[in-house]
Amino acid sequence: MEYPKIETVFNRDEKFKVIEGELRLPEFGNVKNWYVTEKIDGTNVRVIYQPVYETTGFISKEFKEMEILFRGRTDKAELHSNLTKYLEQTFTIEKLGEIFPESEEFPMYPSVILFGEGYGPKIQKGGNYRKDISLRLFDVYVKDQSHPFGGWWLEPENINDIAMKLDVQIAPPLGIMTMDEAVEYVKSRKHSIVASLDRGNPDYQMEGIVARTKPLMFTRKGERIVWKLKVKDFP
């Protein structure tokens, strides 16, 4: 499962700048308050924790082991070798097994995708944030093993709890804002909280924000109501 595309909140003009007030999706106008986080200029990473089964008969399968796969936004995307090394050291079978054990909540072995933004030297502009490689967790999806297409997205407090247990950071929360407040925040061109906390370049301008509903809400197509906005989207 690839990370779903996040729409920019407004439509764009012929110069690819946003047309403020012209919403990309009508659902955006029905939400009063948004949970806003800083958007990081790095590379999308998927940490896939899933069971491996072996065929024991014509149609029967038996659980063999759990495995971890590291992928970019797509299966063809290549991750920087230093980032892969960091992921292998940070996300281990032992750690994830403690966080997602087999239980009444997971009657079958869990299958989980952790989404994060990898950043640091040589990863887009990640070197402005810090001097070494790291990752910030921003989403977690738990698959429903009893349903081939089912599953659920975790809420921010659950994502934060998982990040703490893995000893990784999350995308910095900026608070609950109205859309107007969030737009003004981006237009103010504030410094990046990530760069400041990670002791990279404290004067580095943030890339933008991601805003989502809390609790989660979905469109008629079953997609989460979430949008992004970048500083460079404005003239």
* pLDDT tens sequence across 60-80: 778 888 999 999 999 999 999
Whole-prediction pTM: 0.93
- Phi/psi at 87 (5° precision): -65, -40
Domains, the chain, ranges and CATH?
Answer: 7-40+174-233 (3.30.1490), 43-170 (3.30.470.30)
Strand order in the sheet with 34-39: 7-8, 226-230, 208-212, 34-39, 173-177
E strands in 34-167: 34-39, 43-55, 61-71, 112-119, 134-143, 151-153
The 10s digit of each residue's pLDDT in 126-175 is 789 999 999 999 999 998 766 666 789 999 999 999 999 999 999 999 99
Q: Give the span between the Cα atoms of 138 and 45, in whole angstroms.
A: 10
